[in-house]
Copies of this chain bind each other. A is one copy, B any other.
Amino acid sequence: MLYPTPIAKLIDSFSKLPGIGTKTATRLAFYTIGMSDEDVNDFAKNLLAAKRELTYCSVCGNLTDEDPCAICSDETRDKSVLLVVEESKDVTAMEKIQEYRGLYYVLHGLISPMNGVGPDDINLKSLINRLRDDQVEEVIIATNATADGEATSMYISRILKPAGIKVTRLARGLAVGSDIEYADEVTLLRAIENRTEL
């Protein structure tokens, strides 16, 4: 016997989470046992509720507990701009700046030729359908500044441009607060290319 069954099972559950090995899982399981009854009950309840109540918005693909999501059903938002992101977490990141007032579209993945992920493997089809009969005038592509993000960005812009939709993407340049000394060459190159007048 190593651990009593209840804790062994809990360790096993924690181990299934990403980045959590057996040692950390053991520490978390033992910590959980020391937590208040209320906190543990809430934890279990929240796990089940999140799994049960969350769904993807049928309009934008964002994670939501009501369909359509709060953003899509918000009448005050600008329906002429659509910001395309990889995942729901990116929507939250954009919402945090409290500046963007348009709508979103979540791809749930990026085109990744290296990993065999093509345009049909991500949530792209309904984007094209949506643009066909919608009042969208500009699509802002906000995929990560990685190879896959660029590939996806290129693909989307090539499909949308012939349809007469303005396609833009987030600016590339120096991150605010960063040192030029530590910036990589490609970032510096983009920062020079896209320099702005003062």
Chain B residues closer than 8 Å to A28, beta-carbon distance: 17-18
- Taking a contact as CB atoms under 8 Å apart, the answer to whether A50 and B63 are in contact is no
B4 touching A54 by the CB < 8 A rule?
Answer: yes
B interface footprint on A23-47 (CB within 8 Å = 1, 0 otherwise) = 0101111111101010111111111
Whether A195 sits at the interface, judged by CB under 8 Å, is no
Residue contact A48 to B54, C-beta cutoff 8 Å:
no
> Which chain B residue has the least Cβ–Cβ distance from A12?
B46
Known: A2-B92, A92-B3. A43 touches B54 (CB 8 A): no
Task: Tell me the interface secondary structure of chain A in the complex.
Answer: helix
A47-B46 contact in complex given A2-B95, A30-B88, C-beta closer than 8 Å: no
**Is A186 part of the binding interface, using a Cβ–Cβ cutoff of 8 Å?**
no
- List the B side residues contacting A18 at CB < 8 Å: 27-28, 31
| A65 part of interface (Cβ distance < 8 Å) | yes
Cα–Cα, bound, A44→B47 (Å): 6
Inter-subunit contact A1/B46 (CB<8 Å)? no
Contact among B30, B44, B71 with A44 in the assembled complex (CB-CB below 8 Å): B44
Least CB distance from A191 to B in Å reads 27
**Is there contact, CB below 8 Å, between B46 and A10?**
yes
| B43→A31 contact, CB < 8 A | no
